[in-house]
Structures are given as structure tokens and as C-alpha cells.
């Protein structure tokens, strides 16, 4: 593990950790596209595994009182199908050429950006959430297993319910934790989880816990709209870069 590799991981994961601290989400969504352009998608997914696991355990513990919120009745069913989807998605990660997956990830990032811009007030009712929990969970799992990012489906689905902040963060963190817990053995069986990459993931805990408090501080200083706009611009640039293969 040379210094330049660790420095790049530090910067990429640190940027994702700022978003995680401020909004409760965004670490893979920001860090994986950066790392994938530098090291490849499989490497990026393996590095993020440890910080995603640990940071979401922390977030669930922090917001554990929100687990009994009335509008979270959809969550258990969604998590089951997230787990099933990850297994299939990991097969795609090893069977589909990396350029195809990178192109897909870039397109999904741009589609996510388009949805957020075109329908900023789109909302899903509690009854609709129960009906759509299975396809949303399965889609999020497939996407996470193959690209390391579930936000274009999973986060969009949960966010569209317009939950209060604490149940929202709890639900998203629970989804990310289940995805990572199932993804870890799936990556190992698939031969993707190399020991060196896992060690780099342990190193990535350093920027994770250094910069999550920075995100929490920024959230208190910036409006939610301003911070969200910054993230969307950044994701648009990264998505375009991945689509064009730059």
C-alpha cells in the first residue's frame, strides 16, 4: 500500500464521510465513483465495505430510538429483498465487463440527478411504500451488489416518503448495513475481496470518523437546500465523467 494510494483513499472517503455526517447518507455515492475512476470498480467496492459497515452501525445506534416510527412498517420487507438482490448483483460485478458496469453507474447517477431536479417534491404514501417495498429492495440490492451504490433506487425510494430526519436516517442506515453485511461474504466467495483491499478499507475508517463530524458541523451552518445542491452538482460531474469514460 503506497502513500499515493492511501492519500487518494483518504480524500475520496473523507469527501463521502462529510456527506454522511451532514445527511446520514452519501458515502458510497461520492467515494465509489471517485475510487472507481482511479482504481477500478471492484477495488472501490471492496475498499468501501469496512467504512460502510462501521459507519452505519454507528448511525443505527445513534438513531435507534427512531426504529419504532409508525411509517417504517415497510422497512423489514424491503431489507429482506435488499439482501437477496445483493447476491445477484455480485454475480454481475464479476461476470459483466467493468466498463459496462461503470457506464451503467454513470447513467444511473445522471438519472438520479435528473429525478431530483425534475421532481423535487415527489412523495410516496405509506400504503404505496408497502406495495413497492419488494421491487425497491430487490432493485437496490442488485444495484449495490454490481456497483456498490444503491442510492439511485434505495435512497430515492425511502427519501420519497418524506420521513422526518431521524426515521429517515435510521431507515437508510439499516438498508446500507444489511447490504454491506450480505455483500461481504458474497464478495469473498466471488474472489473480489482481496486482503490488501480489505486493509485499505480498515485504513479508510480514519477519514470516515475524522470527517463525519465535519459534515455534522456543516449541516448546522448550511441550509439543507444549499448542501443538497452542492452534492447534486458533484454527482452530475462524476456521472458524466463515468459515462464518457474520462
Question: Would you place residue 99 in the very low, low, confident or very high pLDDT band (cuts 50, 70, 90)?
Answer: confident
User: In this structure, which long-range contacts are made by residues 234-238, counting pairs with CB atoms below 8 Å and at least 24 apart in sequence?
Assistant: 234/30, 235/29, 235/30, 235/33, 235/109, 235/112, 235/113, 236/109, 236/110, 236/113, 238/30, 238/33, 238/34, 238/37, 238/106, 238/109
Residue 174 has pLDDT above 80, yes or no: yes
Q: b/e string for 204-220 if b means 16 or more Cβ within 10 A?
A: bbbbbeebbeebeebbe
Among residues 194, 154, 236, the alpha carbon closest in space to that of 49 is found at 194
Residue 208: predicted pLDDT: 94
Mean pLDDT (whole number) for 147-162: 78
Q: b/e string for 79-103 if b means 16 or more Cβ within 10 A?
A: bbbbbbbbbebbebbeeeeeeebbe
Cell 451488489: give the residue: 145
Express each pLDDT in 232-243 by its tens digit.
Answer: 776 677 778 778
Distance CA 133, CA 137 (A): 6
Residue 66 has pLDDT above 90, yes or no: no
The more confident residue out of 57 and 132 is 57
Residue 211: predicted pLDDT: 93
Question: Would you place residue 41 in the very low, low, confident or very high pLDDT band (cuts 50, 70, 90)?
Answer: confident
Amino acid at each position: 500500500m503506497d502513500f499515493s494510494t492511501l492519500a487518494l483513499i483518504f480524500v475520496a472517503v473523507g469527501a463521502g464521510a462529510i456527506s454522511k455526517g451532514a445527511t446520514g447518507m452519501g458515502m458510497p455515492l461520492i467515494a465509489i465513483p471517485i475510487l472507481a475512476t482511479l482504481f477500478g470498480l471492484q477495488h472501490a467496492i471492496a475498499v468501501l465495505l469496512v467504512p460502510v459497515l462501521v459507519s452505519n452501525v454507528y448511525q443505527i445506534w445513534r438513531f435507534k430510538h427512531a426504529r419504532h416510527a409508525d411509517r417504517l412498517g415497510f422497512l423489514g420487507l424491503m431489507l429482506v429483498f435488499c439482501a437477496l438482490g445483493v447476491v445477484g448483483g455480485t454475480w454481475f460485478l464479476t461476470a459483466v465487463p467493468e466498463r459496462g458496469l461503470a457506464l451503467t453507474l454513470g447513467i444511473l447517477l445522471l438519472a438520479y440527478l435528473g429525478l431530483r431536479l425534475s421532481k423535487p417534491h415527489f412523495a410516496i404514501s405509506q400504503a404505496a411504500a408497502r406495495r413497492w417495498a419488494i421491487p425497491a429492495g430487490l432493485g437496490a440490492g442488485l444495484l449495490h451488489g454490481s456497483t456498490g451504490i444503491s442510492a439511485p433506487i434505495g435512497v430515492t425510494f425511502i427519501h420519497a416518503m418524506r420521513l422526518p430526519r431521524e426515521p429517515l436516517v435510521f431507515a437508510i442506515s439499516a438498508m446500507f448495513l444489511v447490504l454491506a453485511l450480505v455483500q461481504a461474504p458474497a464478495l469473498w466467495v466471488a474472489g473480489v475481496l482481496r486482503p490488501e483491499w480489505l486493509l485499505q478499507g480498515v485504513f479508510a475508517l480514519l477519514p470516515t470518523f475524522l470527517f463525519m463530524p465535519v459534515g455534522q458541523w456543516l449541516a448546522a451552518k448550511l441550509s439543507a437546500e444549499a448542501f443538497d445542491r452542492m452534492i447534486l452538482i458533484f454527482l452530475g460531474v462524476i456521472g458524466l465523467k463515468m459515462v464518457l469514460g474520462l
